[in-house]
Structure 1
Amino acid sequence: MSAFDYDLFVIGGGSGGVRAARVAAGEAGAKVALAEEDRYGGTCVIRGCVPKKLMVFASGYGAMADEATAYGWDITAGAFDWSKFSGRLNSELDRLEGVYRKLLAGSGVTTYDARARLVDAHTVALSTGETVTAKHILVATGGRPVRPDMPNAHLGIVSDDIFHLETLPKSILIIGGGYIACEFACILAGLGVQVTQYYRGAQILRGFDEEARGLIAESMRDLGIKLHTGTNIVEMHRAADVDDDLMSGPAEDVQFGGATSEAPGTGPIRVKATHGAIEDFDVVLFATGRTPNTADMGLEGVGVTLGRAGQIEVDAYSQTKVPSIYAIGDVTDRVNLTPVAIREGMAFVETVFHGNPTPVDHALIPSAVFTQPELGTVGLTEEQARDQEPIEVYCTSFRPMQTAFAEKPNRVLMKLIVSQKNRTVLGCHIVAPNAGEMIQLAGIAVKMGATKEDFDRTVAVHPTMSEEIVTMRKPMRTA
């Protein structure tokens, strides 16, 4: 008889934790329990990928009527009904959470709707008052959005809150330039909201290919988004609680404080920017970063090492400094993507319960940014590649047939980064409608180590946007 209550105790009911629990119980025959303090499905299903992508779909329909007119259809766009959409959205999220619960139950996993905290290397204390033991503990608690450390930050919302708005605002200020900020800027603009975006850097989407970033920024401005780079927020107050003269000095002289209040109150939020502008917005959204969910979990007390950002430090097998404790997903801050967390969970089960040490492969992971148009990317950017070795850059940008016929200014980008030495395609970057769908397939070729000549030998599918990926014969430039 085992000395422990469970073979595995998983903390966190998101995609990675649920997959690890299900596979360990259902395929490896382990006795497994899982604790989740909030909703099953985690960030991706409840407050991330799934509801965001449904909002992307919703935001795209508004422009269809105008485009259809160019194709001979007599269609008039009506008003967007936020309450109708959000009601259906919440119903769908409830359904998906139910699916996650059923999958766990069907695999024989015991679930606790409770917060879990580590007591020692094999013991977990639950907020229900129960204490359980496990041979192995897997932490999969994910991450959460954070507000900046400034007075009145409580007046703003974070990405989790978008899905719970009772009404759609007429105007919004989005602070940040990462993929979350840019995705919601495009979504809300498509739904008819007046969107302003501040980003302190020189260009949005830091870390992505420079050329792709530039085209997306241009496209966002074409959507009517007031995108201000090199700009940050200096001060914010509830407009009804502050006199204009409190915010009238030069940006560098403005002092925080003044009308700080404990309760959010009501009415527009008055914001002062570093470029001196003072504007009122119905909502301010902070999309300025996320942090791992490691606070008050007892991790350091039992010997688990945390990094500077609060992430759990693990080795290639997702094992912490404490041999019985592992961690996967965003809480480790390696590659914060849902499919990666699932892969890490599968590798953990293979390593621990099948006796087959399996490191997680974090190389050449395709990803997409669901702006309008989308960005699909895999491998190295031009900037990363040219710092590594001599390269050739194959690139084309053009107006796609569908929108060009409707006399729209939309442009797309197809780009390959190729090693001069061995002709391997080091990176592929696509800015276009449905780029996420395209990059999934391109990612297979890049992961296999395909060369530029392999791409060239592939016959084009015509007429499509993606055919340009296999028809670019001469490099645009070398580096």
Structure 2
Amino acid sequence: MSDFDYDLFVIGAGSGGVRASRVAASHGARVAVAEEHRVGGTCVIRGCVPKKLLVYGAHFAEDIHDARKFGWDVPDCTFNWDVLRDNVLAEVDRLEGLYGQTLDSHKVTLFKTRATVVGPQKVRLADGKELTAERILIATGGWPHVPEFPGSDHAITSNEVFHLDALPKRIVIAGGGYIANEFAGIFNEFGSKVTIVNRGDTILRGYDEQIRDRLLQISMTKGIDFKFNAPFQSIEKQEDGTLTVHLENCEPIEAEAVLVAAGRVPNTKGLGLEEIGVALDEKGAVVVDATNQSSVPSLYAVGDVTNRIQLTPVAIREGQAFADSVFGGKPTLVDYANVPSAVFSHPPIGAVGMTEAEARNRLGSVRIYTSDFRAMKNVLAGRNERALYKMVVNEATDQVVGLHMIGPDAPEILQAAAVAVKAGLTKADFDATVALHPSMAEELVLMK
């Protein structure tokens, strides 16, 4: 028997931590997990799952309106935030239970408390109990970053937004990334007056310029207001409970809620990592090698806490690779090339591979193909909103090195198309594929 209490102790029961725990246990390891919040992590509890359910709810606003053009006698409808909020939270509770059952069925010991690292192979629980493990895995994810300024405590983050007591009539959203744009679309469809405030002049940095410009254009047409180059100065709470937001280069804005979506930082504060010699980068992320091992040989990290690619499926891949490599005798590395991503804005975005700018910088000579069209459903509904698909091709090899899409169901279409990009298929391969008509996806094989 081992001299340690456990073969593996995992801190954080999110997507990466749960996957690593159950896979390691299936390989015969004695595993324990500590989670100070709720099992399931950011994605299940306060991230992509409840957010996507709100996105579905928001889509009904346009669907109900458009249904009239398709012959449905739809009366004027009102939206009840309380009903959607409570149903979403109930679904989160159900999923949390399933994650707990997964750990239990694999005989993983769960400590529902905070744990910190007090030695290369020792952790301490919040009640003072100390446990030893041959290996420790940090899977504590990320946490919303809230810049400090007067009144910043009056703002909420993506952690609290799912629990709002009432739908705000006016909401200010700080940030230009995917979280800001997703919640802007959600609240706008629910009927709130939405203002996005960005300290810079660009939304969705890292996405293709044409695609993000199209989202900006459509968002403004839908009534979302944008304030660029407008850093926060302060937030004042008035006697009636409303908030006054003071910005640089801008008039004050009145709102019932302020949502700060200014990025996420690795959740390593107070874990005791630096005290035992674990190297952290300038943002506080655990520095790991290709095998997820830190500067302390017995300690590993996966997921957002490493700040490599902050996506749930990546954390899951990393957790699987760690467990298979260390406990399963199957050395596995995660391939970070051509990882697809989506923005569940209104309309949504899907992307994989290089943007046009990245391809020109890295490859030199490229060919660009686009399809700019109105979806058939939008035509009949009288909606002028246009989709845009963009293909980036390496001139020298004809290989498709990037696909970028904005339009209805873009993420669903992009997932399948990402297989082709990952496989290194060429523009000729796309051209040789017979179109599936009538569909939006057929535009991918019809670009000339």
TM-score scaled by structure 1? 0.92
Alignment partners' CA distance in 2, 1:397 and 1:201: 28
- Amino acid in the other structure paired with 1:280: E
Aligned length: 447
Match among 438, 444, 447 for residue 413 of structure 2 = 438
Cα separation, 2, equivalents of 1:57 and 1:178: 20
Q: Is 1:113 the counterpart of 2:112 in the alignment?
A: yes
One-letter code aligned to 2:391? L
1:401 is aligned to 2:387: no
Displacement after TM superposition at 1:457 (Å): 0.6
Q: Which residues of 2 match residues 250-289 of structure 1 at below 5 A?
A: 267-289=241-263
Question: What SS does the aligned partner of 1:285 have?
Answer: strand
CA separation in 1, counterparts of 2:446 and 2:85? Answer: 43
Task: Compute the displacement of 1:275 (Å).
Answer: 2.5
Number of the residue aligned with 1:18: 18
Q: Distance in 2 between matches of 1:86 and 1:459?
A: 43
Matched, 1:212 2:211: yes
Cα offset for 1:302? 1.0
Q: CA deviation at 1:467?
A: 0.7
Query: Is contact 1:203-1:214 (8 Å) kept?
Result: no
Report the Cα distance in structure 1 between the residues aligned to 2:434 and 2:200, rounded to whole angstroms: 41
What is the CA–CA distance in structure 2 between the aligned matches of 1:238 and 1:7, rounded to whole Å?
Answer: 51
Q: CA deviation at 1:167?
A: 0.8
1:180 matched residue in structure 2: 179
Residue 301 of structure 1: which of 247, 272, 275 is its match? 275
Percent identity at matched positions? 47
Matched with 1:384 is: 358
- C-alpha displacement of 1:325: 0.4
Mapped contact 1:62–1:77 kept (Cα < 8 A): no
- Give a deviation string over 1:384-415, Cα, whole Å, max 9, x none: 10111210000121111111111111110111
Name the counterpart of 1:321.
295
Read off the aligned partner of 1:94 and give its amino acid letter. D
Query: Which residue does 1:426 correspond to in 2?
Result: 401
In the alignment, is residue 375 of structure 1 matched against residue 374 of structure 2?
no
Deviations 1:84-140 (A, max 9, x none): 111111111111000011000000101101111111111010002211111111000
* 1:323-338 matched pairs, under 5 angstroms: 323-338=297-312
Aligned to 1:154: 153
1:47–1:163 CA contact under 8 A, matched in 2 = yes
CA RMSD in angstroms comes to 1.0
2:347 maps to amino acid: P
Instruction: Quote the residue 1:342 is aligned against.
Output: 316
Give how far 1:230 is off: 2.8
Paired letter, 1:429 = H
Counterparts of 1:208 and 1:123 in 2: how far apart (Å)? Answer: 42
Q: CA deviation at 1:276?
A: 3.0
2:117–2:272: 8 Å Cα contact kept in structure 1?
yes
Residue 357 of structure 1, CA deviation: 2.5
Alpha-carbon displacement from aligned partner over 1:191-213 (angstroms, at most 9, x marks no partner): 11111111122221111000000
Kept in 1: contact 2:149–2:233 (CA 8 A): no
Aligned equivalents of 2:237, 2:204: Cα separation in 1: 30
Amino acid in structure 1 at the alignment position of 2:249: H
Q: Which string of whole-angstrom CA distances, capped at 9 and with x for unpartnered residues, describes residues 51-82 of structure 1?
A: 00000000010122221111121102411111
Larger CA deviation: 112-121 vs 64-73: 64-73
CA contact under 8 A between 1:239 and 1:280: conserved in structure 2? Answer: no
Residues 395 and 415 in structure 1, CA contact (< 8 A), matched pair in contact too: yes
Report Cα offsets for 1:365-388 as digits up to 9, x if no partner.
011100011100000000110111
- The CA distance in 1 between the partners of 2:18 and 2:199, in whole Å, is 37
SS in 2 for 1:216: helix
For the Cα contact (< 8 Å) 1:34–1:112, is it kept in 2? yes
Query: What's the CA shift string for 1:279-321, capped at 9, x where partnerless?
Result: 2110111111111110111101111100000000000010001
Q: Secondary structure at the match of 1:196?
A: strand
Give the Å deviation of 1:221. Answer: 1.1
- 3-state SS, counterpart of residue 206 of structure 1: coil
SS state at 2:182 partner: helix
Unmatched runs of 5 consecutive residues or more in structure 2: none
1:101 is the counterpart of 2:100:
yes
Contact (CA 8 Å) 1:16, 1:342: kept in 2 or not?
yes
Displacement of 1:19: 0.7
SS at match of 1:469: helix
The question of 1:415 aligning with 2:385 is answered no
Counterpart Cα distance in 1 of 2:373 and 2:212: 16
1:354 deviates by 2.1
2:326 is matched with 352
State the 1:348 CA deviation: 0.2
Q: Which moved further from structure 2: 147-156 or 65-74?
A: 65-74
Contact kept, 8 Å, 2:59 with 2:189, in 1: the verdict is yes
Displacement of 1:222 in angstroms is 1.7
Judge conservation of contact 2:24–2:328 (CA < 8 Å) in 1. Answer: no
Secondary structure at the counterpart of residue 110 of structure 2: strand
Give the SS at the match of 1:157: coil
| Residue of structure 1 in register with 2:138 after alignment | 139
What is the alpha-carbon distance in structure 2 between the residues aligned to residue 230 and residue 402 of structure 1? 37
Bigger Cα displacement from structure 2, 174-183 vs 347-356: 347-356
Distance in 1 between residues matched to 2:402 and 2:323, nearest whole Å: 31
